[in-house]
Structure 1
Amino acid sequence: MGITWSLFFPPPPNITERNLQSQNGKVFIVTGGYSGIGFELCKILYQAGGKVYLAGRSEEKAQAAIAEIKSLPLKNTLSTEAGDILFLSISLDDLKTIKPAVDTFTASESRLDVLFNNAGVSNPPQGSVSSQGHELQLATNCLGPHLFTQLLLPTLQKTARSSPSASVRVIWTGSIVVDLSAPKGGPSIADFEQPSTDQQRNYTNSKLGNWYLAKGLAEQAGGDGILSLAQNPGNLKTALVRHMPAIVPIIVRPLLYSANYGAYTALWTAFSKELTIDDGGKYVLPWGRLHPSPRADLLEAMKSGEDGTAGNGAKFVEFCDRHIGDFR
């Protein structure tokens, strides 16, 4: 009961736009950066002196967001000069666009300090699919970010070689549904191969999939000094609920916080010095704290399978690897 209560009423944030250390010389990518949490993240990182790539499908929306961010007064008290912010074209629901986006990025940059896999979709109309025919939430929330991360991994590894351990990070975006409604033991591969007609169930499965991918990357790249974590950003007033019945936002509004609070969760996950490489694959709660008691059945599902008994989490990472293989 204590954890559930704190998901709706979290303790105060520790890292905000006012006290984030200067990020001068650091490079970041934020997917879905022109609205909601992504917009707030881009604004805070830019004002802290970082070089930010706002990644998304709409250049028009991105350029409008960039212009707005650049027009805002600085709030960071530890940084005297803003950084830079640029648009990076990518459609996470079209795997063909992802390698070109990475090629564009690496043609200009030789480092990447934090990748925020922030973009996502929730409860689109039933039957919505990606360009490759995958259920849209699986594609946008899991397959696209997984491919993007794998293609950026050489740059992350290069950056980690000249950086303190665990300072180079990949942040995956989960949800409150991981704690409250994920199926016991996690979804099976059949649940992804044959998606439900219940879009909320598909959304829940994709958000647990983000944690699976965070854990898989931690095992893959933790030895390189890269810290991979999943986080529940919090219950927020964002466009993520735009596909839900109109009554839903009205009912839950008293429990929702402004999008900047979700950015605070991401900031703690990306910059907290409390975290070490041994925390790879763990789950962060609003507004920045490690989950003290994740569900035992979900932890069991994330066993790596070294003894030949891979859980649903390890199988899901293999499933994603198969589906991105032709686009690497």
Structure 2
Amino acid sequence: MIDVLRIKNARATRSGWRSRLGALGVLMTGLIVTGSALAQGSPKPDWSVAEMPSQKGRIFLVTGGTSGMGFEDAKALTAAGAQVVIAARNAQRGQEAIERIKQEVPNAQVQFESVDLSDLSTVRALGKRLGSTLPRLDVLINNAAIMAPPQRGTSADGLEMQFATNYAGHFVLTAELLPLLRKSDSPRVVTLSSIAVHRGSMNLDDLQSTQAYVPFAAYAQSKLACLMFALELQRRSDAAGWGIQSMAAHPGVAVTELVARGPGLDSEQGRQWSAMRNNMQTAAQGAVPTLYAATAPEARGGTYYGPTGEQEIRGPLGIATVPAAAKDAATAARLWTISEEITGTRFPSSAR
């Protein structure tokens, strides 16, 4: 969202030729940073949920699946025959989501599991429950997020709330579910990032924003961490032989509850968001990159998927632009090590 607000302000002050030149710069940057991924082949720009292959017999977990894009993920996957676990905080909203899905998909195989990603004890409890009840997990979709609460909050584990919910909780959840994922013939992990990463930076000396809390900056950092995690997970899977394909995706700018539950609709950001609402993608459109990464046979690990229109706000599906900060493997490795330390979580060092 911070990207959109700045883009709007820029358009108000810059001439047409400078805007066009800036767009060309973004396009060229995208071509450079995604060159290796493009060599693998871009997805069909008009790929849609209708082209999703049957997911019968496959098991998915979607965090934050009670609303927005997570809900659209769960609904589309159940319609394709998958068994879906929706993991979120609010049991009532979870039941409502299941009822809504079953209205459209009467035979949907969908269940709710309680988890608060900002409380790592509940993340570990979820991992244990699923480890004893599921035969395997084919795809984990790390979708849940909060965005830019005005005041800095801390989690049950003492972490800044956006860092905890958007990133650290998913880091631990992925580690907890790794044994189940490795029981799948073709396991995938899809982690949601954001176009906000292009305004983000990774401050490894102050990941919890204790020195200064700027709501959107903290959000951008958490989403940059998510993207770095997705790419680093693929590198580590390849090195350790886990057999997991790890992808990242972003929705562009879609109509969800993030603003209402974050800065609030009465805030300056909320008012600008409301004014721009008609030009945004729907939640269903925003879910397309995630669903492609999760289900398309041709999707590849280590790739970042998203819309490819102007500034990647909306538009045809394609390979998203990876900012230079997210491509820094050394920083990603340091972030991984720090994440293990502050969460008390260790990934295995090999396939054993």
In structure 2, the residue corresponding to 1:190 is in which secondary structure?
coil
Structure 2 counterpart of 1:237:
255
Structure 2 counterpart of 1:78:
none
- The match for 2:279 among 252, 255, 264 is 255
Structure 1 counterpart of 2:110:
85
Q: CA deviation at 1:3?
A: 7.9
8 Å Cα contact 1:24/1:83 also seen in 2: no
Q: Distance in 2 between matches of 1:3 and 1:238?
A: 29
The answer as to 2:225 corresponding to 1:209 is yes
Structure 2 counterpart of 1:324:
343
Structure 2 counterpart of 1:79:
none
Change (3 A) 1:3 1:39: farther
- The match for 1:14 among 47, 50, 56 is 47
The answer as to 2:78 corresponding to 1:50 is no
Structure 1, residues 268-318: CA drift from partner, whole Å, max 9, x if none? Answer: 111222233xx42x3222254223x5333542x2x2xxxxxx32x221111
Q: Distance in 2 between matches of 1:142 and 1:93?
A: 9
8 Å Cα contact 2:95/2:112 also seen in 1: yes
Change (3 A) 1:4 1:239: farther
Structure 1 counterpart of 2:176:
151
Q: CA deviation at 1:193?
A: 4.0
Structure 2 counterpart of 1:284:
305
Q: Distance in 2 between matches of 1:73 and 1:194?
A: 43
Q: Which amino acid aligns with 1:58?
A: N
Structure 1 counterpart of 2:36:
none
Q: CA deviation at 1:190?
A: 1.5
| Aligned 1:279-318 pairs, distance under 5 A | 279-280=301-302, 282-286=303-307, 288-291=317-320, 293-299=321-327, 301=328, 303=329, 310-311=330-331, 313-318=332-337
Q: Which amino acid aligns with 2:228?
A: Y
Q: Which amino acid aligns with 1:218?
A: Q
Q: Distance in 2 between matches of 1:187 and 1:28?
A: 30
Q: Distance in 1 between matches of 2:25 and 2:139?
A: 28
Structure 1 counterpart of 2:104:
72
Structure 1, residues 164-221: CA drift from partner, whole Å, max 9, x if none? Answer: xxx4210111001113x12xxx312123044432110000000000011112211222
Structure 1 counterpart of 2:3:
none
8 Å Cα contact 1:13/1:264 also seen in 2: no
Q: Distance in 2 between matches of 1:154 and 1:264?
A: 27
- The match for 1:23 among 49, 55, 60 is 55
8 Å Cα contact 2:139/2:187 also seen in 1: yes
- Normalization by structure 1: what TM-score? 0.83
User: Please, which runs of 5 or more residues in structure 1 have no aligned partner?
Assistant: 75-81, 304-309
In structure 2, the residue corresponding to 1:224 is in which secondary structure?
coil
Q: CA deviation at 1:152?
A: 0.3
CA RMSD of aligned residues (A): 2.4
The answer as to 2:246 corresponding to 1:228 is yes
Number of aligned residue pairs: give it.
295
- Normalization by structure 2: what TM-score? 0.78
User: Please, which runs of 5 or more residues in structure 2 have no aligned partner?
Assistant: 1-22, 31-43, 308-315, 348-352
8 Å Cα contact 1:235/1:255 also seen in 2: no
In structure 1, the residue corresponding to 2:136 is in which secondary structure?
coil
